[in-house]
Amino acid sequence: MPSDPTTSSLTRVLTRALRGLGEAGYPDDASRLAAAGWVALRRTHPVEARQLNGLLHYLARLPEQTEPATDEPKESTVTTEDKQLDVRAELPARRHELIFATYAGLAPGEAFVLINDHDPKPLYYQFSAEHADAFSWEYLEQGPATWRVRIGHTGEGAPTAEA
């Protein structure tokens, strides 16, 4: 669906407000709201969703940014033979599509290990907004050159392939 002026304007306003919230010392709150906006727009307004995805990456680099909140612990039910998904050689615009498609292919209790060249915190917020109780997230390696994260399907909800 092509962008309409109202949605484009509201996305710009939201982006400025959330950037200010993050810069004021609340990057976690701003990231959660940006991810919720991304979920709302990603299928019908991909241009605006990409803007919010860019904002998530900006917020993840703020100095006050901490590890993604895990206030709702999720049990890990992953297997020992997790598929590896190395997205480092992929174009940034294609990475999330591949990651969400891989997640959608998981059966309950299965997981894959994401290998990335930067901290995938923005992706954590997107998963949290779209699959709240249906995923697990476990850092296996945290940079500086490589990040490895085990992402699992806990069985609480059905993953979707659309990115």
Q: What is the β-pairing status of strands 83-86 and 111-116?
A: parallel
Predicted structure pTM score: 0.76
The pLDDT, as a whole number, for residue 132 is 85
What's the CA dihedral at 120, 122, 127, 132 to 10 degrees? 120
If asked whether residues 97 and 145 sit together in one domain, one would say: yes
Domain assignment present for residue 142? The answer is yes
Nearest to 18 by CA among 32, 1, 7, 6: 32
Structural domain tally of the chain?
A: 2
Domain assignment present for residue 103? The answer is yes
Domain assignment present for residue 35? The answer is yes
Q: Which helix (H) or strand (E) holds 114?
A: strand 111-116
The pLDDT, as a whole number, for residue 73 is 41
Task: For residue 138, give the amino acid letter.
Answer: E
The pLDDT, as a whole number, for residue 93 is 78
Domain assignment present for residue 101? The answer is yes
Domain assignment present for residue 78? The answer is no
Domain assignment present for residue 74? The answer is no
Domain assignment present for residue 76? The answer is no
Task: For residue 47, give the amino acid letter.
Answer: V
If asked whether residues 87 and 148 sit together in one domain, one would say: yes
Tens of pLDDT, residue by residue, the chain (163 residues): 667 889 999 999 999 999 999 999 999 999 999 999 999 999 999 999 999 999 999 998 887 644 554 444 444 444 557 899 999 999 887 898 899 999 999 999 899 999 999 999 999 999 999 988 899 999 999 988 999 999 999 976 555 544 4
- What residues make up the domain containing 139? 83-153
If asked whether residues 36 and 93 sit together in one domain, one would say: no
Domain assignment present for residue 67? The answer is no
Q: Give the CATH number for residue 102.
A: 3.30.110.40
If asked whether residues 55 and 94 sit together in one domain, one would say: no
